[in-house]
Structure 1
Amino acid sequence: MDTQKSNTGWSDTELEASIDAYLKMWKLEQAGQAFKKSVENRLLREGPLALRSASSIEYRMQNISAVIQQLGWQPITGYVPAKNVGAGVNARIRAVLEAKAVLDTETYTATADEAVLEMRATTLQKRSIAAEPQGIVNPQQVSATSTTYVRDPQVRAWVRQQAKGICEGCGSNAPFEVDGQPFLEVHHVKHLAQKGSDCTSNAVALCPNCHQRCHRSSDRKAFTAGLYSRITRLIPE
């Protein structure tokens, strides 16, 4: 019975077996094919997870969903991401996913290189970002020929997705497309140079005209105040 099963720490073999089962179901769901979670749970208990209870396997699947979601992917329907995933378990799950080359983690990595940032954000913009990214509260300043900041490509992509090709400043359509995507520039309402965050609560998608208006126009303060009043996700910093 479940009450007799082990509650000790999971071995690497057990963790990998649970991830393999999760990925099997994940790929089936992505392909629109049917599967039964209860059957996969039973197969695990009859095999590599014989010492684990049905409920502990269910919770492990929720741990995996949480990591999948953190990486910007859509978790399996029905496996609600666990709210509290220990740092150790999180790191172990990520390591297995990376070893299996399931997730393109480099694309999700923050960078200070504008060209690389734009390339990664464009790639991510074509994917479904399941959860609002956390971003970087205190972007690290790095020195090159000019000063720039490390920024999160998920934040740039997510903000553009929310805008749906419409400038959040003037309401006009994006002026052109890049790689099949409507082009809008992502502006930090409180500038990074003023110690603003690289978070969705401090970022808007603007057409080039409105972006320059935020930086150069004589009414830039009033225009910025209008952004705060219209866009509910923005939080003054």
Structure 2
Amino acid sequence: MDTKKSNIGWSDEELGASVDGYLKMLKLEKAKQSFNKTAEHELLREGALSARSLASVDYRMRNISAVFEALNHRPIAGYTAANNVGSVIISRIRRILEQRGIIEYQDNAPTSDEALLELRATRLQSEPIKTKPEGITAPQPVSTTSTSYVRDPEVRAWVRQQAAGVCEGCGVLAPFNLDNGQPFLEVHHVKHLARKGSDRITNAVALCPNCHQRCHRSSDRDAFTESLYAKIGRLARE
């Protein structure tokens, strides 16, 4: 019996190795070449997946099949798509598939993955957004170890573009620029998402870190929020 532990979180290296193993088998299948799944699993377990059981590797392959099916890509025959795959794992697998060139980047696709949201918003921010994004009226909560919300990267990018490097709260220049030259401002939802606020440009502002924290933590946060409504014409109370 396999006694290897498989109940700890998967690292990026492990997940990447799983995707690479899956893509190898998919390529063989498309070329009508035979392969042995168990042997391929064991090969993975001799490398990056040495801490994983055969059952765990098989289940991860079924996770990847679930992502393929969601993207309308044909999965490997025999790897039945797993049910109830976590949104975080789905986002991580999608990101790896994007990095491998298997699926195209979808910079305007909403996501609950904060890192992916920021990556997409940064790309979108580099080019003019010609039309005001519709955003998401009722962002859906996604349960992980904490609750996050699906948000629109175009909204984040557009709001920052409108701010043009100046905090919409205090009027001071962004505290620094990122490696890509873009000024660093954080996007804040005036009515918090946890309070049923929307992810729309009418509920979002670009703030320096100090003003952002002021909205959440300061003793005058309510008054400061009121000043944002008075100052920024696009905002609408919800």
Bin of the TM-score, shorter chain as denominator length: 0.5 to 0.7
Instruction: Quote the offset at 1:183 in angstroms.
Output: 0.7
Question: Aligned partner of 1:107: which letter?
Answer: D
Question: Aligned partner of 1:188: which letter?
Answer: H
What's the counterpart of residue 68 of structure 1?
A: none
**Alpha-carbon separation, structure 1, partners of 2:181 and 2:110:** 23
**Alpha-carbon separation, structure 2, partners of 1:180 and 1:116:** 19
Is 1:117 the counterpart of 2:150? The answer is no
What's the counterpart of residue 224 of structure 1?
A: 225
Is 1:131 the counterpart of 2:131? The answer is yes
**Alpha-carbon separation, structure 2, partners of 1:193 and 1:157:** 21
Moved over 6 A (4+): none
Question: Aligned partner of 1:198: which letter?
Answer: D
Question: Aligned partner of 1:235: which letter?
Answer: A
What's the counterpart of residue 145 of structure 1?
A: 145
Q: Give the secondary structure class of the aligned counterpart of 1:107.
A: coil
Q: Give the secondary structure class of the aligned counterpart of 2:142.
A: strand
Q: Give the secondary structure class of the aligned counterpart of 2:106.
A: helix
What's the counterpart of residue 208 of structure 1?
A: 209
Instruction: Quote the offset at 1:105 in angstroms.
Output: 6.2
Question: Aligned partner of 1:217: which letter?
Answer: S
**Residue by residue, what CA displacement relative to the aligned partner does 1:95-147 show, whole Å, maximum 9, x if unpaired?**
xxxxxxxxx66111000000000000000000110001000000011111110
Q: Give the secondary structure class of the aligned counterpart of 1:106.
A: coil
What's the counterpart of residue 155 of structure 1?
A: 155
Q: Give the secondary structure class of the aligned counterpart of 1:122.
A: helix
Structure 2 gap ranges (5+): 1-103
**Residue by residue, what CA displacement relative to the aligned partner does 1:179-219 show, whole Å, maximum 9, x if unpaired?**
21001000000000000000000000000000000000000
Question: Aligned partner of 1:120: which letter?
Answer: R
**Alpha-carbon separation, structure 2, partners of 1:128 and 1:232:** 21
What's the counterpart of residue 233 of structure 1?
A: 234
Q: Give the secondary structure class of the aligned counterpart of 2:134.
A: coil
Q: How many residues matched?
A: 134
What's the counterpart of residue 191 of structure 2?
A: 190
**Alpha-carbon separation, structure 2, partners of 1:211 and 1:190:** 13
Structure 1 gap ranges (5+): 1-103
**Alpha-carbon separation, structure 2, partners of 1:191 and 1:141:** 13
Aligned CA-pair RMSD: 0.9
**Alpha-carbon separation, structure 1, partners of 2:116 and 2:146:** 16
Q: Percent identity?
A: 68
**Alpha-carbon separation, structure 2, partners of 1:230 and 1:180:** 27
